Amino acid sequence: MRWSGLLGKEAISLPRGVRLGRVKSCDLSVEEGSGRILELFLGLGIFHVRRLAWSQVRCVGPDILLVELSEETIDSIPLSAREKLSFERERR
């Protein structure tokens, strides 16, 4: 997959299943000698860019990007930039 393939995917954080938004732009930080991906920069809105260590990326699927964020990080994201998924409503 090309890194540009992340565009348009829905970014969702684990473990709470918080929808962070669609990836509108992305960039990578790569280790010069090995070519290993170090960081991922996701543009999730006009003013919202999230910097993630590559180790935080759990899964890149056909439609979603699953990332693991701490509770503090999730709580620091403005509510206008995220939507909580309600799995409880789907179960009822």
Residue 81 in contact with residue 20, Cβ under 8 Å?
yes
Domains and CATH numbers, the chain: 3-84 (2.30.30.240)
pLDDT of residue 34: 94
Measure the CA dihedral 71/74/77/78, to 10°. Answer: -90
Reported as a single tens digit per residue, the pLDDT across 50-66 is 788 899 999 999 999 99
* Global confidence as pTM: 0.71
Residue bearing the bigger pLDDT, 19 or 1: 19
The confidence band for 85, taking pLDDT boundaries of 50, 70 and 90, is very low
pLDDT of residue 6: 86
Question: Which strands form 37-43's sheet, in the order they lie side by side?
Answer: 25-30, 37-43, 49-53
